[in-house]
Amino acid sequence: MAIDLARMKFQWRSFGYKSKVVVLCSVANFINAADRVLMPLAIVPMTNEYKWSLYWQGWILSAFAFGYFTSQIIGANAVNTYGGRRVLCCAVLLWSLSTVLTPVAAVSLPALICARVVLGLGEGLGLPTIFQLFAQHVPAEERSRAFGYMVAAGSVGQTFASLFVPHIDWHISFEIFGFMGIIWVVCWLLTYHDPPMLADEEGQQLLEKEMMCVTWSEWISHWSLWSIYIAHFAMNWSNYIIMQWLPTYLSRTLGANKESMSLTAVPYIISSLCGVVWGHLADQLISVGWPVLRVRRLMTFFGLMGPGLCLALFPEVSNLVVAVLVISMAMGLCAANSAGHLSNHADVAPNHAGITFAISNTIATIPGILCGPLTAELVVASHGRWFPVFFLAGTINFTAAMIYYTQSSARPIL
212-218: long-range contacts, CB 8 A cutoff, minimum separation 24: 214/352, 214/414, 218/413, 218/414
Q: How many domains does the chain have?
A: 1
Q: What is the CATH number of the domain that holds 109?
A: 1.20.1250.20
In a domain, 12, yes or no: no
The enclosing H or E element of 403 equals: helix 387-407
What does the pLDDT average to over 277-284?
A: 90
CA angle 71, 176, 165 (to 5 degrees): 95
289 CB-contact burial (10 Å; exposed 0-12 / middle 13-18 / buried 19+): exposed
**Domain ranges, residue 77:** 18-207+220-407
* Separation between Cα atoms, residue 390 and residue 7, nearest integer Å: 51
In a domain, 360, yes or no: yes
pLDDT at 227 over 90: yes
pLDDT at 314 over 60: yes
315 CB-contact burial (10 Å; exposed 0-12 / middle 13-18 / buried 19+): middle
Give residue 62's pLDDT.
83
What does the pLDDT average to over 280-303?
A: 93
In a domain, 8, yes or no: no
pLDDT at 195 over 60: no
Q: In percent, how much of the chain has pLDDT > 70? A: 90
In a domain, 10, yes or no: no
Give residue 310's pLDDT.
94
**Distance set, CA 186 to CA 93, 96, 113, 195, 199 (Å):** 10, 12, 28, 19, 21
Q: Are 148 and 278 spatial neighbours (Cβ–Cβ below 8 Å)? A: yes
Q: How far is the first Cα of the chain from the last one, in angstroms, to the nearest whole number?
A: 50
Residues for the chain: how many in total?
A: 414
* Separation between Cα atoms, residue 5 and residue 8, nearest integer Å: 5
pLDDT at 162 over 90: no
In a domain, 118, yes or no: yes
In a domain, 306, yes or no: yes
- Give me the amino acid identity at 274: C
Q: Which of 64-73, 172-181, 205-214, 264-273 has the highest mean pLDDT?
A: 172-181
What does the pLDDT average to over 309-336?
A: 92
* Separation between Cα atoms, residue 318 and residue 13, nearest integer Å: 52
pLDDT at 235 over 80: yes
In a domain, 11, yes or no: no
In a domain, 212, yes or no: no
Mean pLDDT of the chain: 84
For 68-84, the pLDDT digits (tens) are 887 877 877 777 778 77
pLDDT at 321 over 80: yes
Output the pTM of the full model.
Answer: 0.70
Give residue 226's pLDDT.
96
What does the pLDDT average to over 213-228?
A: 83
What does the pLDDT average to over 315-326?
A: 91
Classify 46 as helix, strand or coil.
Answer: helix
What does the pLDDT average to over 300-311?
A: 96
For 123-148, the pLDDT digits (tens) are 988 888 887 777 777 777 777 788 77
What does the pLDDT average to over 354-381?
A: 85
Give residue 198's pLDDT.
41
